[in-house]
Structure 1
């Protein structure tokens, strides 16, 4: 029987766009291609696997429908279509035309109605199996013996076929037309169909089971009781209207014939042009077998797309590619491997271990590759007695290639092997080349090489209870999976898996090198990110000492303060309530205390009590500041004081955070497990936590902090003479700014004026508005606007710099730091003022914050090299934004501290010879040293 596929184009593009809203796919021009890619992927899956004979794609138009005429509020609550999605729809239609697939659209009718009309017509003709392709469950009202729903799978699952047999399980009714009775009673929030108040799905199902239909329920309300009877009788007309609105039209005036929908050969030239334009290399290979030909960054497969088996089959696998992998299981083979490695100017290595915990991982072996399709695997049955030649080879001057090398370097460090650079980390390289996509090795192999590596889940089994110490929880280094028993994998199997990893990573490096050059990121990679790798390894493995007794003492103090604040807040409220319940808090603030005449609400109708809302009310009532303090201290206690002891490494008694180089778009370092970057420094409670960080025995803590570095960078980039002069004369920049803005002598600047100037100085970097400044300073918006206007009159070069940065970023598509690090901003061309404004503020901030991040990274590289070259005992422990923390040997203080300060001050000279100042301090804990 012929198979008719009717695609709900609107639902499919919406689904694809929002599935990837947190991590959209963008091509090298910055265009969001998520919707087009997702739609194309679904279309190809149908064409490849379902053998359709007839096919059409339906779309809505902007014209009102009969539903809008009957009920103007129909879909009125929906937000406007996202700008990037609207821009994608014409290209989706272009794709349909390139495949010679009819685009179905009629003013006054939704895509649902066109599909409903054709599906009913096909069922009546009796000559088709009809499949309605949509994620929308409401289409189930059209199910019939030969009419089915084809729902795309979620998160990698296969598609779902829904027929009459599945109807009761999904909807809880026996007949398709009863679905519109359900919707008539319970409504549909998505389409703003009201329904009957108080009637939910389960109640509606019970009523339909008893009375058969909405009309049956309305005819027998005498059998109902109480509030339910009252609601149904009072809203009978609304229920009938809701049922009408939910009914898919099946007699739309569509004149498309079956002959029009016959699947015909596609226009390969037009399809290839479109794939080339949007850089769909993986789809091109899938459809035409083309290998990637361009050296520009390829378009990534969507993170949350629906990978279908047919897509995977287009990738080459190990069995498809001639290869030579060696298991180094004899002394002769080991000697041969080491001899080869001695003659390589670069080689890839990849370790296999039993855990992602750097301190628990047991080394199982190391794979090597220096030629495509060739690899070697050296097992290490006794990791406590490794071949001495191994340490020498990994410590030689050859370039070492790997993926997420920091993990490998940490484990090898733990096993007594120091790996020497230079390094080429394919994960870091790809993060610079294509920051918006995933960077796992398997994903990049499929995206860049058209190759699907062996999956660890295919060769390893879950661990037994007795193997608790041999777990490999797949995370950053491998695809996520449950814990697996790596040690139990047969040696020959593990050798092939490991050698393939090294081989593919070596090939990825060869592919990424020209992309770094083409994207002008080679300098950032080779001078900053790659040399920083061993520095972070040294810092992570060194860790920092904690004082458990200080943590306990601070935790008890905060606990008492939390209890006191809780009592204070309930006393002010006049009745007890759950302080951690936003709903109950909102009722106290806005129903009982009536702090705001028209309080804002969330989409669910609940009062907003988020931090921004409460901060805007600070000072208006004692309860607000008490709640803000309660929230801050409660979060500090749970996030740090209660959690930090759990991060103490048993074997060292120290905390070893994980540093991440390229998580932040500006290049700033981030840390996790635990996150030490977010310990507040402005609040008393936040500062107290730093008292628990202490030096090792016989040492002191040294803190070196760049002073007002982002303002200095801004002054240099703007080339503002007044600001530069203030820095050169070592003036207090906030006092000097206040004097200029308010037109007074510096000695006459008040504390309030200095505070306002400080807020403007730092706020300008982040694009602060008059509204934002007024909220932070607690002053009228007009006064805040005057301060900002006066600021730009005194520092006109700053205004020029900001305007120039936005314009250049709009023209080029990116903003860049002093070292050339780039951040792309496709939203600078958005017609949505809010979206465009956010992009403009980020574009201004990027060269400032990004250059500051590059500066401290370069300083860390130079300081680490200096400490090791001169064999100092002092060690660099932490980087927290603009601050470096050290375990300082007191005997080295007089010589070393000036050297560290000099290396920091000269790490990245600023234009215009703007001076860089580093403040420092020492003490028995971090708080005392800072």
Structure 2
């Protein structure tokens, strides 16, 4: 982890010159440490130290701000002679004794900020600056005491802060400095803010109160009214004494009724200049830091860029170095001893089962896993359940094992097991007990399997999703075996070891109980160990909220969707499959005629022979080995050059894929139990949080081709029901407008304009009214392509125009929308500095490709960095909608069911009479899904329709 330097700013304004010949003996800078910390924390994305995952975002920002202050101070004409950083010691002060509700409703600091408080104090001392705090007093009181003391001595004070509560101290020899805005705050600025001179700020604050600190004030009186009253009556005491003279009835009565509350408020906002000084003023003299101490601290924190700046003595910024690769945890097993599969227990009788359930209740946190006879949770039969109550203490409870050939399982002694119903009846109270936390690896599958057994497992933690939140993008897999090897140094028993491979592989229900116990109980044991190891990192790395709000609720939502499935018309699929076969045969005959002989249209080798050797065609593109390839992009180029055979081959391939992937396989995927298709959603499979689906894959059915739409027509509602498709409109472009703060795009979205027409009008100067369709199409291609870092070459291919013309389009686009280029550059720089980007909801997407030695891979990393905050935020938003949807449907009394999620679209099934109500609920939940965490500056819009089939509803 490297630090992110703060942006360069103009030098600080000089201190007011002293009128005496020699100047004051003391020029004191007092830095509001708490203000620096919170500004640093909120100005930067969550940063962590690579060596151990320690959150250091606030530390990094604080150090950069403090170092810049020190450098700028030295450049001043009248440099300060004394300096200190002042911190709050604790929450409770004398004000809490005066008023127990003072600051009572303030939320606690963010979890990943708390461990940084002591580190910031260490940083202050490492920079050679005194760190001041005092039990029972706020930092503002300490600042007030020093300011008053130095002022009375004839010295000058500058308070480095923008806190309005400190403005009461501003005067002849006391000023404030907002370093973020480079703004010097004197009496004029205070008058502008409060409407009164600094010596009357307390009076105004006493009247208007402070909602942040829970200072009550006078109800209904704001700053303007308070300033008006104080300026009219001179001071607060006079105002309260003469309140009966005020003409406005309500205002007069408020001041009379709440006089005591107003006086109490004055005690709360008045800073205490008599606060004891934690250190003598002489101890605050400016001194250079000890080089070795500061260098050691910055190195320990991983702030390498700042370390180099400090070493060079400059305040400027340099390009940050690539952060070092995260040091892996030593792979010498866990702190709980090695995994020993021989110690696991196979539970075959009620007494033993009851004993394990009692252990689980006492443990409070357990891991569990299910073993089944199928990968499909919607159709799987339960073979057994494993439990781990402590590292190394695990068991397996078989319920569905049997001899191969289907022999009964109640005769042979080695196959003795408790009956299925008895096990379910005893496990149900445990797995549904809210006081026992259940940990699983890929919990979605286990939740779905047990849901079909009548068990609603809760509460749940998922080690796969914890790993995914922590390290998305760093590893291809977050599976248990990989996590075990990575973090525990233990390689779990592979499935093939107990069940065999290939044609000889047996169902798990046919695995003997002894190896089944070792395999199944090990899964629960390893999962518990991983949980104990990885879960604390969510807190220390500032990712706990991401996990708890965006990941942990998803398994239950998706499990229910998978169980629901969706109905498909097999007859329509059969007709489509036949039609595709006929057209493929026609295309084959056409290809043979063009080639002059028959050949295998599915063979790249034979296609290459025909195109390049026999027909003499040439492609500008080659494969990695230098050969002329036959992939789709190469055939597209050849077709665009006017060659007919490549176009025929592309059409044949498309039909072949649709037939093999969808029309044939979808029919085969219909469950005989439910007569519906049950896809499986994958969590933790993409770097940005998007979901994928498999068995069958319903995410990639073409929606823009006639054939793809015909396939969607085969997805139908049950009799008396309709399908409802609710789809976000241009969500990534809307997020680009918000995240990049692009005025033209925001304006178009706020006004409900056609965004592509608006873009075309902005770029080409063409009126929206009567705009040619081709002009809009080109703007649309750029709008969507720009989010993915499209090149001139790529745009040229997409629009079938010369590359230089495409390049000119892109150049014009960035000239018309400069904020987009700014966003892209800023995001790329951030990714290179940190190794990751974040979404507006805090999701962390690691992008190691930005440090690759390969230029092509670095370019890919840059494109991924630009797109990930947008695609990731879109994924986060639809997750938030999905998580809220079940409760919203229930509260509305609807029988509708959520069936599918496809990128930015949700598909529901509802009784016909509920269609309109369901559309209203879906639109409301989806369009407000970002709130209250993020208030988007552009509206989210959802298009929703109901129909008998998916295509008509889309």
Same topology, TM > 0.5 = yes
What do you get for the CA RMSD once the two structures are aligned?
A: 3.3
- In structure 2, list runs of 5 or more residues that go unmatched: 1-48, 53-301, 303-324, 400-417
1:496 Cα shift?
A: 5.8
Judge conservation of contact 2:424–2:453 (CA < 8 Å) in 1: no
Q: TM-score, normalised by structure 1?
A: 0.61
Residue in 2 aligned with 1:793?
A: 815
1:416 Cα shift?
A: 2.1
**Pair 1:449-2:488 in alignment:** yes
Shift in alpha-carbon separation, 1:602–1:375, aligned structure 2, 3 A: closer
- Write the distance in 2 (CA, Å) between the matches of 1:746 and 1:375: 68
Residue in 1 aligned with 2:943?
A: 919
- Write the distance in 2 (CA, Å) between the matches of 1:875 and 1:371: 38
**Pair 1:690-2:703 in alignment:** no
Judge conservation of contact 1:377–1:498 (CA < 8 Å) in 2: yes
Shift in alpha-carbon separation, 1:372–1:396, aligned structure 2, 3 A: same
Residue in 1 aligned with 2:730?
A: 708
Secondary structure of 2:427 counterpart = helix
Q: Quick one: higher RCO (CA 8 Å, sep 6+), 1 or 2?
A: 2
1:745 Cα shift?
A: 1.0
2:328 aligned to which of 298, 318, 342: 298
Q: Map residues 7-86 of structure 1 onto 2, 5 A cutoff.
A: none
- Write the distance in 2 (CA, Å) between the matches of 1:867 and 1:313: 45
Q: Map residues 221-370 of structure 1 onto 2, 5 A cutoff.
A: 298=328, 317-319=338-340, 328-342=347-361, 345-370=364-389
- Write the distance in 2 (CA, Å) between the matches of 1:571 and 1:496: 62
1:767 Cα shift?
A: 0.5
**Pair 1:420-2:458 in alignment:** yes
Judge conservation of contact 1:317–1:453 (CA < 8 Å) in 2: no
1:797 Cα shift?
A: 0.7
Judge conservation of contact 1:680–1:687 (CA < 8 Å) in 2: yes
Shift in alpha-carbon separation, 1:531–1:574, aligned structure 2, 3 A: same
**Pair 1:372-2:410 in alignment:** no
- Write the distance in 2 (CA, Å) between the matches of 1:313 and 1:873: 48
Judge conservation of contact 1:461–1:485 (CA < 8 Å) in 2: yes
- Write the distance in 1 (CA, Å) between the matches of 2:917 and 2:499: 55
- Write the distance in 2 (CA, Å) between the matches of 1:447 and 1:764: 37
Shift in alpha-carbon separation, 1:733–1:774, aligned structure 2, 3 A: same
1:865 Cα shift?
A: 3.1
Residue in 2 aligned with 1:744?
A: 766
- Write the distance in 2 (CA, Å) between the matches of 1:668 and 1:461: 33
Secondary structure of 2:900 counterpart = strand
Q: Map residues 646-685 of structure 1 onto 2, 5 A cutoff.
A: 646-685=668-707
Shift in alpha-carbon separation, 1:777–1:361, aligned structure 2, 3 A: closer
Judge conservation of contact 1:315–1:450 (CA < 8 Å) in 2: no
Deviation string for 1:224-278 (max 9, x for gaps)? xxxxxxxxxxxxxxxxxxxxxxxxxxxxxxxxxxxxxxxxxxxxxxxxxxxxx9x
2:630 aligned to which of 596, 609, 628: 609
Q: Map residues 207-218 of structure 1 onto 2, 5 A cutoff.
A: none
Shift in alpha-carbon separation, 1:605–1:298, aligned structure 2, 3 A: closer
- Which is greater in Rg? 2
Shift in alpha-carbon separation, 1:481–1:416, aligned structure 2, 3 A: farther
Judge conservation of contact 1:429–1:525 (CA < 8 Å) in 2: yes
Judge conservation of contact 1:539–1:877 (CA < 8 Å) in 2: yes
Residue in 2 aligned with 1:392?
A: 429
- Write the distance in 2 (CA, Å) between the matches of 1:555 and 1:300: 54
- Greater shift, 445-454 or 739-748, is seen at 445-454
1:604 Cα shift?
A: 6.2
- Write the distance in 1 (CA, Å) between the matches of 2:476 and 2:614: 49
Judge conservation of contact 1:543–1:654 (CA < 8 Å) in 2: yes
Judge conservation of contact 1:426–1:505 (CA < 8 Å) in 2: yes
Shift in alpha-carbon separation, 1:482–1:592, aligned structure 2, 3 A: closer
Shift in alpha-carbon separation, 1:438–1:626, aligned structure 2, 3 A: closer
Secondary structure of 2:703 counterpart = coil
Shift in alpha-carbon separation, 1:558–1:318, aligned structure 2, 3 A: closer
- Greater shift, 558-567 or 568-577, is seen at 568-577
Residue in 1 aligned with 2:641?
A: 620
- Write the distance in 1 (CA, Å) between the matches of 2:630 and 2:507: 47
- Write the distance in 2 (CA, Å) between the matches of 1:319 and 1:767: 50
**Pair 1:847-2:877 in alignment:** no
Q: TM-score, normalised by structure 2?
A: 0.60
Shift in alpha-carbon separation, 1:449–1:924, aligned structure 2, 3 A: same
Residue in 2 aligned with 1:409?
A: 447
Judge conservation of contact 2:713–2:951 (CA < 8 Å) in 1: yes
Residue in 1 aligned with 2:470?
A: 433
- Write the distance in 1 (CA, Å) between the matches of 2:624 and 2:847: 29
Shift in alpha-carbon separation, 1:376–1:603, aligned structure 2, 3 A: closer
Judge conservation of contact 2:372–2:381 (CA < 8 Å) in 1: yes
Judge conservation of contact 2:832–2:850 (CA < 8 Å) in 1: yes
Aligned residues: 611
**Pair 1:509-2:531 in alignment:** yes
Q: Map residues 761-776 of structure 1 onto 2, 5 A cutoff.
A: 761-776=783-798
1:700 Cα shift?
A: 0.7
Secondary structure of 1:747 counterpart = coil
1:902 Cα shift?
A: 0.8
Judge conservation of contact 1:316–1:452 (CA < 8 Å) in 2: no
- Write the distance in 2 (CA, Å) between the matches of 1:551 and 1:744: 45
